[in-house]
Chains A and B, each alone.
Chain A
Amino acid sequence: MIRLNNITKEYPGFRLDVSLEIRPGTICGLIGKNGAGKSTTIKTILGLIHPTSGDVQVLGKDPLKFSAKDKEKIGACMSDSGFCPHLYIKDIIVILKSMYSDFDEAKFVDECNRQNLPLNKPIEGFSTGMSAKLRVLCALCHNSKLLILDEPTAGLDVMARNDVLDMLRNYMLEDEERTMLISSHISTDLEGLCDEIVMIEDGHIVLREDTDVLLGQYGLLKISEEDYEKIDKSYVIRAQKRPYGFDCLTNEKQFYLENYPAITVENTNLDSIIMLMLGNEKEVR
């Protein structure tokens, strides 16, 4: 569905260098700190920027050569970009109807009503949550095969975030062939939604794993300096110095549970993995 092959994009002081493949029917979460390269990756996939080198294939085509028909297959949501704020939702309905051959007006209006989005109010008067919901709805209303969402929940409160995530879940449940790439720096959003997680830092992919594996097989070892020297580090993928010794991220927690019963092995969540993978403290491995 999406294939980035040795894509590079250079800006002053930043270089993106990624390879990535997203299979049809999957939900892939792109996570990383601000400025890590999430938006640049998404913009490359959407054909909004020209990569310095490398090959991009989306739905089997270079996105820079997409026709209008090709673009109809993609639902895109940008975190801080949308329709002119002077427009009303009733205007947007007319626009979307004339743009997308498969625009589902009844569903769009139903969802607007369900999300309490007024049709007769200029969108400049919308709250942050309402604007975000509208941007997501615009991406979901034309039966797109591929959803690409850049930080759709940024700046939203918990309730609005849940509403947006529910909309996305329902959309994906309607058709198993649909594929989604979603970026966020809020790990809990992705944890409950994505099939796989791609972690990006300083323009490079530092981790790519199925969410089930991350939450099931990965573990956090909290060990003293003395134990750290003794253990087999074959399955330690990151370690960071702590006052009490080391925090080690392992992709085989069972191995340490069975072979080192004395050491503390904790379950991981995305937050703890992010802290270890992307944390500012000095990495020792």
Chain B
Amino acid sequence: MKGLLVKDAMVVFAQRKKFIILFIGISLMLSFKMDATFIVSYLCLIGMILGLNAYNYDENNNGMPFIMTLPATRKAYAVEKHLFSMMTVAIFWLLGLGMQFFANMIQKVDMDFVEQFPTYLMFLVLFLAFTSIVTFVEIRFGTERSRVVILLAGGLCFVIAVYGQQFLLKLGIDLSGIAGLIASVPSTVLTAAEILLIVAAICVSAFLSMKTLEKRDY
């Protein structure tokens, strides 16, 4: 596991020229005083893309047969891929927080970080869950096909979000009662439930990745 993490870190570090472009972009954003949460979410997204790239590089140039001969089991490989992509998200989230803090200091913006922290934390948790799910999709469908799958899944979610309620109303199902019920739940319970749901999503996607890799021929 440690060796695989080091390998992926090296592969991501080999793309360091891209970091320069990234930091130029962030500097421009900060100079235009973008929304504070945007910088953090933008960096989380960059972290996710970089983390997922580690799998792309394994898969490209027919690298997988060799990588599977390295001293790590298929299970360890699957877990490492999830761990690595989530670690890059977490590192870039921290970087985002630091940059935001630094920018606020320079621009002398008065911002209460303690008050804002739960919002930032929710960004991190959501990105971790999304990263883990996308990691599974990449492992299951491969780099190329996973892009199509993610686009289709995104489109489906959009359609459900926009037309789902109308459709259910036509069927005589009213969700406003459920929404009211959720609103009545104490926020701590709701947050705990959300975190549980997200942890479950991470665990399930990692488990499915393990099962996928165990069955695969290289």
Interface, chain A (partner B; CB < 8 A):
43, 46-50, 66-69, 71-72, 74, 76, 78, 80-88, 91, 94-96, 98-100, 122, 135
Contacts and interface: CB of A to CB of B under 8 A. Distances in A.
Interface of B: 2-4, 6-7, 10-11, 13-15, 57-58, 60-73, 76, 215, 217-218
Nearest to B13: A91
Contacts of A50: 215, 217
A99 B70 contact: yes
* Most chain B CB inside 10 Å of its own CB: which residue of A43, A50, A82, A86: A86
8 contacts: A49-B217, A81-B63, A86-B11, A86-B57, A91-B10, A95-B6, A95-B10, A99-B3
A94 B62 CA distance: 22
B207 to A, nearest CB: 19
A95 B3 contact: yes
Contacts of B13: 91
B64 A81 contact: yes
A159 B14 CA distance: 31
B7 A95 contact: yes
A49 B3 contact: no
A43 B65 contact: yes
Contacts of B62: 80-81
A94 B58 contact: no
Contacts of B15: 86
The 7 closest A-B pairs by CB, nearest first: A99-B3, A76-B69, A81-B66, A71-B71, A49-B217, A86-B14, A48-B218
Nearest to B215: A50
Given A78-B69, A84-B57, A94 B76 contact: no
Contacts of A84: 11, 14, 57-58, 60-61, 63
